[in-house]
Structure 1
Amino acid sequence: MTHPDIVPREKLSFGFDHEVPKYWLGGDPFKTRFCDAMSTIFPEGERFFISCVRDFRDQVTDPQLLAEIKDFIRQEGQHGIVHSQFNAHLAKQGIRVARLEGIMKWWLFDVLRKYMPKKHTLALTAASEHLTAIMAEALFTRKAVMGEADPRMFAMYAWHAMEEMEHKAVAFDVMQKVAKVWYPRRVLALVETTLAFNFNVLSFANAMLRRDGFSRWQRVKLFAKGMGWVYGPGGMFMGCWRSYLRYYKPGFHPWQEPPTPMYQVWVDAFNRSGDPVEAGRVVYAAAV
């Protein structure tokens, strides 16, 4: 199956040296902190994914897959670096970033990596890569989801999502071809990952809003209004539910689905300008 090349793009600047508005997504505290919560889970999450794929790298004999693993590691490493740079701005706002990242480190490395079989943590990685790969479809196809974002933040998440589409099959291929993970474990891993992702992001967003000074009742109202943006008709996740469910098919492979058209829009714009913020602007203009 033909697919895009994995292209590590390093030393990118998103303009975080200038202050990003506290509520950078349309001035909405819930939407902003939901996305900020995703950013706080990514640095340790990316390190976890790299570790779980490395567990099986010595067993890989296919030169192409070995090259893809190398580029996968480089891309994921950059994602962790950039999100850490933004998370430093959250810390300046009073968000307890170190505490939130510490929770993720404890869960991923002191629990999952310590007590779960390596095949299972690899299956969790492949499932997580499926979720992050459909971010491009979830976040950037329709302006209704991220259209009011600060251009720098829009650009950061667009870059992350498009690169996830390039390496979306790497962990899956290692899982299937090398670790020989059977179908029930693969499916169970996606169920676990889906539940864990939503629980962690929502609980971290709640912690951030509490830190911002919102009372319990104010947070209830923010969540009641914001949950439609995440899960409701026309919301973030409803736009990619078909892609999500295809992972449960026994014969599924990530490259059965081509990248979203927004991928080529972003790549062409980035290759012309070399600027991820400009590429983000072009994606915004192309969204409906």
Structure 2
Amino acid sequence: MKQTTTASGYPIVPRTEVDFDLDGDIPRYWFGGDAFKSRFFDAMSTLFPEGEKFFISCVRDYKDEIVDPELQQQVKDFMRQEAQHGRVHKQFNDRLQAQGVRVDNIEAKTQKILGRIRELMPASFTLAQTAAAEHLTSIMAHSFFDRPDVFAEADPRIRAMYIWHGVEEIEHKAVAFDVLKNVAKAGYFTRAGVMLYTSVMFPLHVFLILRHMLIVDGYSFWQRAGIWARGLRWLYGWNGLFRPLMGHYLAYYKPGFHPWQDGGMGAYERWRLAYARNGGNAVEAGNEAYAGAA
């Protein structure tokens, strides 16, 4: 299989045989028994299958205009990786459906919303959405690698799934951006403005889904209020999940920004070697990479 390397020197590798034992005995609250932390990542997972299809479509809009053979191959590998992410998260989401979460409704509404955006907005806007979302997911992935405490209490199988997803987000983090800048010829204000829009809409949708999940789980209004208070402090507090990401996030608004200017690759390299050493066992690779970061 032909592969190209990114500006980082690393290939974009579509890994199609990953298995995380998602049909196993994974607890409902797989993140240290914490309802908010578990459901926050669960809520993101429900958006991925339709979101990945949307990203593929938005990049494909410009596929015939790409003349650089390296970028052409990167786009193909990007699409294959995103399609695989959607399939794995679909399997994960089947667990949520069995718990009473209306994943079918969430996916149908997501598909309708994203389809409507593609109908109403120019292709450059939706491609800029894709580039913005790719930046957000890649900086989260870098953070997970750089801060081993983040997933210390998570079930190893789900942790491995998000680490694998993060690895591939890092590998292709510049593809949509390069198509946006070099093929779509979108300007700075499109890039920056759409990032602001995405930065509001993405967490809003995650929180609405998280609210539904906590209701499904049977928590009363006051119980949910306490869960939200603790959870939002975990996300946005001084020592929260997102504060260390702010510098990486704000870098996107620099006029001369490019995704390969940002993010260390040491932990990524550790996972890549562990994955090869373990014969493509993504759970073992995730455990090794995480232990090495601790």
Query: Does 2:287 align with 1:281?
Result: yes
What's the offset of the Cα at 1:258? 4.7
Partner of 1:86: 92
Q: Tell me, yes or no, if the aligned pair for 2:20 and 2:160 is still in contact at 8 Å.
A: yes
- 1:77-117 CA-partner distances (Å, limit 9, x unpaired): 000000000000111111111111122111111x2111011
Q: Tell me, yes or no, if the aligned pair for 1:14 and 1:155 is still in contact at 8 Å.
A: yes
Q: Tell me, yes or no, if the aligned pair for 2:142 and 2:263 is still in contact at 8 Å.
A: no
Q: CA RMSD in A?
A: 1.1
Partner amino acid for 1:33? R
What's the offset of the Cα at 1:141? 2.2
Q: Tell me, yes or no, if the aligned pair for 1:48 and 1:108 is still in contact at 8 Å.
A: yes
Unaligned runs of 5+ residues in structure 2 are 1-6
3-state SS in 2 of match to 1:58? helix
Partner amino acid for 1:70? K
What is the distance in 2 between the residues matched to 1:197 and 1:278? 31
3-state SS in 2 of match to 1:107? helix
- Write the mapping of 1:146-161 to structure 2, written as runs, cut at 5 A: 146-161=151-166
Q: Tell me, yes or no, if the aligned pair for 2:233 and 2:240 is still in contact at 8 Å.
A: yes
What is the distance in 2 between the residues matched to 1:238 and 1:70? 34
Partner of 2:218: 213
- Write the mapping of 1:10-49 to structure 2, written as runs, cut at 5 A: 10-49=16-55
What's the offset of the Cα at 1:13? 0.6
Query: Does 2:276 align with 1:271?
Result: yes
- 1:148-176 CA-partner distances (Å, limit 9, x unpaired): 00000000000001110000010001000
Q: Tell me, yes or no, if the aligned pair for 1:140 and 1:146 is still in contact at 8 Å.
A: no
What is the distance in 1 between the residues matched to 2:262 and 2:136? 14
Partner of 1:187: 192
What is the distance in 1 between the residues matched to 2:191 and 2:93? 32
| 1:229 corresponds to which of 223, 234, 245 | 234
What's the offset of the Cα at 1:257? 2.2
- C-alpha distance 259-4 of structure 1, shift in aligned 2 (>3 A): farther
Q: Tell me, yes or no, if the aligned pair for 1:3 and 1:255 is still in contact at 8 Å.
A: no
What is the distance in 2 between the residues matched to 1:224 and 1:257? 32
Partner of 1:257: 262
Query: Does 2:144 align with 1:139?
Result: yes
What is the distance in 2 between the residues matched to 1:258 and 1:33? 27
Q: Tell me, yes or no, if the aligned pair for 1:145 and 1:235 is still in contact at 8 Å.
A: no
Which one is further off, 58-67 or 223-232?
A: 223-232
Which one is further off, 264-273 or 71-80?
A: 264-273
Partner of 2:120: 115
3-state SS in 2 of match to 1:144? coil
Partner of 2:80: 74
Q: Tell me, yes or no, if the aligned pair for 1:90 and 1:97 is still in contact at 8 Å.
A: yes
- C-alpha distance 245-3 of structure 1, shift in aligned 2 (>3 A): farther
- 1:24-75 CA-partner distances (Å, limit 9, x unpaired): 0000011100000010011110000000000000000000000000000000
Which one is further off, 227-236 or 66-75?
A: 227-236
- 1:256-279 CA-partner distances (Å, limit 9, x unpaired): 125442211111111111111011
3-state SS in 1 of match to 2:149? helix
What is the distance in 2 between the residues matched to 1:270 and 1:87? 24
What's the offset of the Cα at 1:2? 3.6
Q: Tell me, yes or no, if the aligned pair for 2:142 and 2:170 is still in contact at 8 Å.
A: no
What's the offset of the Cα at 1:131? 0.5
Partner amino acid for 1:265? R
Partner of 2:178: 173
What is the distance in 1 between the residues matched to 2:145 and 2:212? 26
The count of aligned residue pairs is 287
What's the offset of the Cα at 1:210? 0.5
- Segments ≥4 residues shifted beyond 6 Å: none
Partner of 1:52: 58
Which one is further off, 147-156 or 277-286?
A: 277-286
